[in-house]
Each structure stands twice: as structure tokens, then as C-alpha cells.
Amino acid sequence: ESGKLSDGHQALFIDSAIGAHSMTTEMVVFGDEGLIKLEEDMIKAKPLYSRDMNNDGVLEVGSMYIPQGWEETAFADIPFIEYYSTYSIDGDSHKVMERYTDRERRFYIEIPPAWFEKVTLNKLDDGVQLVDIASRNVLFEVRWQENDMLAPASATILEETKDMVFYTEMAEMKDFPFTQFHLLQDEF
């Protein structure tokens, strides 16, 4: 993918598969003295491509980390938290987005910047909770059920698809609003 770094330099972002599941990203910058390969190669546990996540004209490089408490979990069951960062020609990076993505149910919860690296997850039979690591308080909860079932009367509907209803029964938090929930189809 060709795009801009955060400092305005043009670069080529090379996302390459490593083995069956992993990926790496390399960046080659079109500098004043020719092509310059940035020193940092990003190796990712799962494929996560570089793209302009916030529509600002700058490409972000995707990566991920294991939430606290999931370190000893089997690889296939880890609910990775994804994050996207911008880079400059001198290698400085700045995280611009962090989110939990459920690819099976095709949604993501964008984590507000004040909560970057401060949340973990609790998986429920029919939902997921984002939890404050320090206090263990639930910050955001989404539940799902088939569309032909009635959501609880106390539920706030977050989104609906032809097959599923995504809802929450918790009160909206000012610093973690319900608008942080998105269907993956919203990205395309």
C-alpha cells in the first residue's frame, strides 16, 4: 500500500504473510536521498493490514496485544486487542486507535484514547465486556442474540443485522459511549 507517514513523507507499506497465521509490516520511505527502509519491522500474531483508519490521509500500521489475564490462553482463543499507529521518517510512532474486534460476529468496539492499554476482556456466553484493569469495573458490555428473539425490556439496542441484535443492559458511560460500537461492514 502506498501512502503518507505522519510527517508527510510518501512511503510504501509492505504487509507480508509469515507462515500460516502471522504477518509483518515493513515501511520504505521515499526520502530526499532515495529509498529509506525504516528500521522497525512489525511482526503480528495475526493478519492486520496497514490502512488509513481515521480518514486523515495518513496510513496507520496495525498491530495487536494480548489483554491482561489472557496470557496463558491457547492462541486460537486469545481475544487480541488491535491497535493502529502512525510513523514518521525518524521512526517515531503514535497510537491513534485501539479496538477489540470480534470477526466471528463482525463487530468492533473502539476504545477511547483515555482507556488505551487500560482494559481487558471478559467473555460471556452471549456477549463480551471491556473491563478497567485497575478497578475491575465493566466499562462497556455488548450482548447478542438472534434477531427473532426479543431483547430484554431494559436493553439499549446498539445495532441490528438481518440475523443478530447487538444490545447492552448497562448504563452508558460518558467516557466510553455506546457510539464506540460498530459493525465491521461499516468500514467498507
Give 151's DSSP letter: P
For residue range 123-178, list pLDDT tens digits in order.
999 999 999 999 999 999 999 999 878 778 889 999 999 899 999 999 999 999 99
Measure the CA–CA gap between 176 and 17, rounded to whole angstroms. Answer: 34
Q: What is the pLDDT of residues 82-113, one digit of tens each?
A: 999 999 988 889 999 999 999 999 999 999 99
The residue behind cell 492499554 is 117
Alpha-carbon distance of 100 to 92, in angstroms, equals 24
Of 119, 39, 49, nearest in space to 79 by CA: 119
Between CA 127 and CA 104 the distance in angstroms is 12
Query: What is the SS3 assignment for 187?
Result: helix
- Whole-model pTM above 0.85? yes
